[in-house]
Chains A and B, each alone.
Chain A
């Protein structure tokens, strides 16, 4: 370090290629937007007209409801399956293994169709004495499995298998000493899970669960195959009438994008919440990361803090 009268001027590293690539990206992006706005025969007025139309908003609500209910079901099932998997009883852990094998091994689309058409192989379902005894409650399965139930079953049971793997990884990340200390204090296996292991596993469970939720929002569009009017199927119903196919797909996409963005932000704050006390460094969200790098050259002095 020199201690002259003139302060030393620090020159940050220059990145000329960054500017070249940035300029190229900007040109392509501008061109794409230009063509979309002018050349493509895309009727933006139609997009605007339907964005908040009743049918679309209703469909959006159904999509959000399906996402929430299926995720809730998936999380509960996932925790139960993960705890079952770790059970010392081989029958219990075997059941969990079989479930995951079955529901992860078949496409979710097939599972949706399966629940929807279940009525055709079991036209009559009932609860009663097994092996043909008298029935207590029963009815036609067409009534018992309406599309909404088929949709929730299809998405939720499938999600349970994936969540089980995520929860299992979370449980595995908790130091064995924790379980041992809890046992030594006389806590039961379930109390140890609930009070000690799962709260600490959350740090590992939350980020992929956020991804699963975002993914579920989009996967729920598969439900359109069983003619259940969620967002995509609502859009399809409209363009079947007016033939504005692309416009309505854009409408649906705008809503999907809007809510994945909201979920991404929510995920960032949840991650920060569950990382408390366990780590000093909280990873930046993807958006934050992009912006931090975009404006990095403007404030070289703060680079060291990042």
Chain B
């Protein structure tokens, strides 16, 4: 890895707890621009929580977390740090795309309106312009002809692709995926992974929580195995998958492979 580029994400000893339960117990990792990092780990290991910290949907309780050289949730002025206001946090979030396990499309809006909403409301793009771009984004995920459909009229795989288009419409510098294919029927997983592969090939920086070992192996640049709130193992996907060094990684992989 190059030492000159500013990491897109940098975590140093990130802590997070809910009440008394410690969910993240000191996460250290680094995602470079253009890198695709896959996060693997058993249920409850804190993968989703860590993703949500990156775009400040959760506030961290300790350690430091930078996105694109800026401390998440703070603004530096001189040598002082100021906590961001709601509106400033929202502006930062707009630069990071997020895709959820359960799609979370807005059911009362058509596919194209789902995609065009944030550009018009958050960035102030003219509606006509936003619709043109939204159509392009839908074409990019292979759904140009379903622009007028409501989410309930789309298959799970199509809904997830609309959700990806919705995130891409904000031209994010980083995309977060939280188990994007876990809620899909097996025959629909392929389409979504294909869209993600192309995105990775286009140079998008991505952090992907997934149980799709094949995707992690082929599209991923690095793989992190998390368990119980810590990073257990980190390295190039093939290395981690084929020669895991830690017992916990071996045990987990033997169950999912």
Using a CB–CB distance below 8 Å, which chain A residues touch chain B?
A: 175, 177-178, 180-189, 191, 195-196, 199-200, 277-278
B94 touches A186 (CB 8 A): yes
Interface pairs (5), CB distance under 8 Å: A177-B104, A180-B104, A182-B106, A200-B107, A200-B108
CA distance A195 to B107 in the complex (A): 12
B90 touches A187 (CB 8 A): yes
B122 touches A195 (CB 8 A): no
A186's partner among B90, B105, B163 (CB-CB below 8 A) is: B90
Residues of B within 8 A of A183 (CB): 57, 90, 93
The segment from B15-23, B37-45, B95-103 found at the interface with A is: B95-103
Output the least CB separation between A36 and chain B (Å): 50
B97 (CB) vs chain A CBs: closest residue: A184
A189 (CB) vs chain B CBs: closest residue: B86
Output the least CB separation between A96 and chain B (Å): 19
Which residues 109-137 of B sit at the A interface, judged by CB distance below 8 A? 117-118, 121-122
Output the least CB separation between B154 and chain A (Å): 12
Residues of A within 8 A of B100 (CB): 177, 180-181
Q: Cβ of B84 < 8 Å from any Cβ of A?
A: no
A188 touches B87 (CB 8 A): yes
CA distance A200 to B107 in the complex (A): 8
B150 touches A178 (CB 8 A): no
CA distance A243 to B150 in the complex (A): 62
Q: Cβ of B161 < 8 Å from any Cβ of A?
A: no
Which residues 162-207 of B sit at the A interface, judged by CB distance below 8 A? 163, 166-167, 170
B118 touches A185 (CB 8 A): yes
A184's partner among B93, B117, B152 (CB-CB below 8 A) is: B93
Residues of A within 8 A of B117 (CB): 185, 187, 195
CA distance A200 to B150 in the complex (A): 14
B122's partner among A185, A196, A200, A277 (CB-CB below 8 A) is: A185
CA distance A196 to B117 in the complex (A): 10
CA distance A10 to B13 in the complex (A): 75
Inter-chain residue pair count (beta carbon < 8 A): 66
B93 (CB) vs chain A CBs: closest residue: A186
Q: Cβ of B12 < 8 Å from any Cβ of A?
A: no
Residues of A within 8 A of B86 (CB): 188-189
Beyond the given A181-B105, A186-B95, please list 13 additional residue pairs across the A-B interface where CB-CB is below 8 A.
Answer: A177-B102, A181-B106, A182-B106, A184-B55, A184-B97, A185-B117, A185-B122, A185-B167, A186-B91, A186-B170, A187-B90, A188-B86, A277-B150
Residues of B within 8 A of A184 (CB): 55, 57, 93, 96-98, 167
Output the least CB separation between B103 and chain A (Å): 8
CA distance A188 to B102 in the complex (A): 22
Output the least CB separation between A183 and chain B (Å): 6
Residues of A within 8 A of B150 (CB): 277
Output the least CB separation between B56 and chain A (Å): 9
* 4 pairs of A and B residues whose beta carbons are closest in the complex: A186-B94, A181-B104, A185-B118, A184-B98
Output the least CB separation between B84 and chain A (Å): 13
CA distance A200 to B122 in the complex (A): 20
Residues of B within 8 A of A187 (CB): 90, 117-118, 121-122
Output the least CB separation between A171 and chain B (Å): 14
CA distance A181 to B121 in the complex (A): 14
Output the least CB separation between A9 and chain B (Å): 42
CA distance A232 to B87 in the complex (A): 52
Output the least CB separation between B98 and chain A (Å): 4
CA distance A267 to B120 in the complex (A): 34
Q: Given A195-B121, A277-B150, A277-B152, are A188 and B90 also a contact pair (CB < 8 Å)?
A: yes
CA distance A185 to B164 in the complex (A): 12
Q: Which of A178, A184, A195 has the most CB of B within 10 A?
A: A184
B121 (CB) vs chain A CBs: closest residue: A191
Output the least CB separation between A88 and chain B (Å): 9
CA distance A186 to B91 in the complex (A): 6
Output the least CB separation between B24 and chain A (Å): 18
CA distance A184 to B118 in the complex (A): 10
A277 touches B107 (CB 8 A): yes
Output the least CB separation between B63 and chain A (Å): 22
CA distance A185 to B106 in the complex (A): 12
CA distance A277 to B108 in the complex (A): 7
Q: Which of B90, B95, B167 has the most CB of A within 10 A?
A: B90
A184 (CB) vs chain B CBs: closest residue: B98
CA distance A49 to B243 in the complex (A): 97
B119 (CB) vs chain A CBs: closest residue: A185
A186 touches B118 (CB 8 A): yes
CA distance A188 to B117 in the complex (A): 13
A196 touches B106 (CB 8 A): yes
CA distance A82 to B122 in the complex (A): 24
A178's partner among B57, B98, B104 (CB-CB below 8 A) is: B104
B166's partner among A185, A189, A191 (CB-CB below 8 A) is: A185
Output the least CB separation between A188 and chain B (Å): 5
Residues of A within 8 A of B166 (CB): 185
Output the least CB separation between A97 and chain B (Å): 22
CA distance A55 to B93 in the complex (A): 61
Output the least CB separation between A194 and chain B (Å): 9
